[in-house]
Amino acid sequence: MNKPVLPLTYEQLDHWIESLQPALLAERFTMALGILRGGAPLALMVSHAVGTPVAFLRYDRGAREVAWDSTLPVPPRGSKVLLCEDIAGRGFTLVDCIAFLQAEGLEVKTLTGAVDDLSRTQPDYAIDARGYFALFPWERQAYTERYRDDWARVEAGAASAMADDHEYAAYAIDLDGILLPDVPLARYDEDLAAALAERDALPPFEVLPGIDLRRVRAIITGRPEMDRARTEAWL
pLDDT at 219 over 90: no
Whole-model pTM: value is 0.69
Provide the b/e sequence for 75-113 (b: ≥16 CB within 10 Å).
beeebebbbbbbbbbebebbebbbebbeeeebebebbbb
- pLDDT per residue as tens digits for the range 32-88: 999 998 899 999 999 999 999 999 999 988 889 999 999 999 999 999 999 999 988
Mean residue pLDDT of the chain comes to: 88
Q: Summarize the confidence of residues 165-177 as an average pLDDT.
A: 80
* Cα gap 29→108, rounded to integer Å: 9
Pairing of strands 54-60, 65-68: antiparallel
* Cα gap 44→26, rounded to integer Å: 18
192 Rama class: left (phi>0) / alpha (psi -120 to 50) / beta: alpha
Pick the most confident of 131-135, 141-145, 200-204.
200-204
Name the packing angle between helices 40-50 and 10-19 (round to 10°). 40
Question: What band does 1 get if pLDDT is binned at 50, 70 and 90?
Answer: low
**CATH 1.10.645.10, applies to 5-167:** no
pLDDT at 216 over 80: no
* Cα gap 232→228, rounded to integer Å: 6
What are the residue ranges spanned by the domains of the chain?
A: 5-167, 171-234
Q: What is the phi/psi pair of residue 111, to 5°?
A: -135, 125
Select from 110, 93, 88, 95 the least CA-distant residue to 33.
110
* Cα gap 96→94, rounded to integer Å: 6
